[in-house]
Chain A
Amino acid sequence: QSALTQPASVSGSPGQSITISCTGTSSDVGGSNYVSWYQQHPGKAPKLIIYDVSNRPSGVSNRFSGSKSGNTASLTISGLQAEDEADYYCSSYPPSRPLFGGGTKLCVL
């Protein structure tokens, strides 16, 4: 069982928007602005797409956005594209050690 809870899968059609949730506790997600999101395509290494709740690294599409409310962080992907089909992992990094969610498989129908 992962420390952070994500839905196992979400799906959407090209052009639509989807949101992936990541639920933790007040000791991790709720108490920290160090929430990040990683995208992992099959057979590839994870790639950082959101850090510090809502910041995008250089080169990451602005279709990806992050937010947080209480103990739940969210990743929203707008204007879905076929290339967005991948696994997505959230992570919270309290002072002790980083925690990952169990991952969410995004299917673009």
Chain B
Amino acid sequence: EVQLVQSGPEVKKPGESLKISCKASGYSFTTYWIAWVRQVPGKGLEWMGIIYPGDSDTRYSPSFQGQVTISADKSISTAYLQWSSLKASDTAMYYCARRGTGMRRFDSWGQGTLVTVSS
């Protein structure tokens, strides 16, 4: 069974750094893309970027380029999303999602990680 299990909720202050994770199981981690999607409370879905763990090829949405870093550690089948300096506007639910090579859909999603940034 394909599973994407994300790290738990986080409460941080503005200016702090953060790295959240998405652990994959049930499939070959290095042959599928992993995307990160933001959902501000009460709002819609926003694609942030995507990584191919097989060769670490990473693409970012222009809206998030330079604001976050996406990485992956294929030795432990885990993808990451990190911030170096959080803002209150980063408060949101963050989902990781799997995309097959040559496919243009997200067929499996993590349960989400709620990030709250407040002073």
| Residues of chain A at the chain B interface (Cβ within 8 Å) | 2, 32, 34, 36, 38, 45-48, 51-52, 57, 89, 91, 93, 97-103
B106 neighbours in A (Cβ, 8 Å): 36, 38, 46, 48, 91, 98
Q: Which residue of B lies closest to A46 (CB)?
A: B109
Which of chain B's residues 58-115 have a Cβ closer than 8 Å to chain A? 59, 61, 95, 97, 103-112
Q: Which of A34, A45, A47, A100 contacts B104 (CB 8 A)?
A: A34
Number of interface residues of B (CB under 8 A): 20
Measured CA separation A57–B95 after assembly (Å): 20
- In the complex with contacts A97-B59, A97-B61, A103-B107 CB distance below 8 A: no
Q: Which residue of A lies closest to B59 (CB)?
A: A97
| Residues of chain B at the chain A interface (Cβ within 8 Å) | 35, 37, 44-47, 59, 61, 95, 97, 103-112
A36 neighbours in B (Cβ, 8 Å): 104-106
A98/B104 in contact, CB under 8 A: yes
B112/A51 in contact, CB under 8 A: no
Q: Which of B35, B103, B111 contacts A45 (CB 8 A)?
A: B111
Listed from nearest, the 7 A-B pairs whose CB atoms lie closest are A93-B104, A34-B104, A51-B105, A45-B109, A100-B45, A36-B105, A103-B44
Measured CA separation A102–B39 after assembly (Å): 11
Q: Which residue of A lies closest to B107 (CB)?
A: A48
